[in-house]
């Protein structure tokens, strides 16, 4: 059994169309030979993977509430369980969704966004729908943040549960680091 956490922010004139904003909240826990890049049996803390993504989802919701923004489309807020065991939570929801999947217009996934040392943010999925790359680039606040748009779609996070069903997505990620899946 997976414990996904879901919320809904009702939309306006396009309320029957949905955008999903999500992140996985699980982590490795104790390192095993299957999930660890370091010593086995020690706690592998998950501040970046993926408390950072979970916190970002909560920050987006809070910012929308404080700005009293009602989106045109309804927003599904999702915190997934079981990502580290094979995208199990997001895959379960995609197989048994609470809305018709053809009404899901885009998925925004945040995974490992807590290490912005290089001031680079990877945004993958911009090829999954025409105009996404331009939209993201235009929405980027002018400053020191450099956006990278990888060509390859990785299968290693919850966006893939939707990409394989031809649902457009954006995946935000600040890259791997030496502490990834280590105590």
Q: Which residues are catalytic?
A: 83
Cα–Cα distance, 143 to 181 (Å, whole number):
31
Nearest-angstrom CA–CA distance, 12 and 64 = 14
In 3D space, the residue among 77, 130, 83, 63 whose CA is nearest the CA of residue 108 turns out to be 77
Query: Please, what is the Cα angle at 18 between 8 and 57, to 5 degrees?
Result: 55
Q: Is 161 exposed, middle or buried (0-12, 13-18, 19+ CB in 10 A)?
A: buried
CA–CA distance, 123 with 60 (Å, rounded to integer): 17
């Amino acid at each position: 059994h997976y414990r996904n956490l879901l919320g809904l922010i009702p939309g306006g004139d396009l309320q029957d169309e949905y955008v999903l904003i999500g992140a996985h909240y699980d982590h490795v826990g104790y390192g095993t030979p299957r999930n660890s890049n370091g010593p086995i049996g020690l706690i592998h803390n998950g501040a970046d993977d993926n408390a950072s993504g979970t916190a970002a989802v909560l920050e987006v919701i809070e910012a929308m509430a404080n700005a009293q923004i009602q989106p045109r489309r309804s927003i599904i807020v999702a915190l997934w369980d079981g990502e580290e065991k094979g995208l199990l939570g997001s895959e379960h929801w995609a197989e048994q969704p609470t809305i018709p999947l053809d009404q899901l217009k885009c998925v925004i996934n945040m995974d490992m966004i807590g290490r912005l040392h290089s001031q680079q943010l990877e945004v993958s999925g911009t090829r999954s729908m025409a105009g996404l790359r331009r939209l993201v680039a235009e929405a980027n606040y002018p400053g020191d943040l450099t956006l990278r748009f990888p060509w390859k779609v990785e299968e290693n996070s919850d966006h893939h549960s939707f990409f394989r069903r031809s649902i457009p997505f954006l995946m935000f990620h600040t890259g791997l680091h030496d502490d990834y899946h280590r105590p």
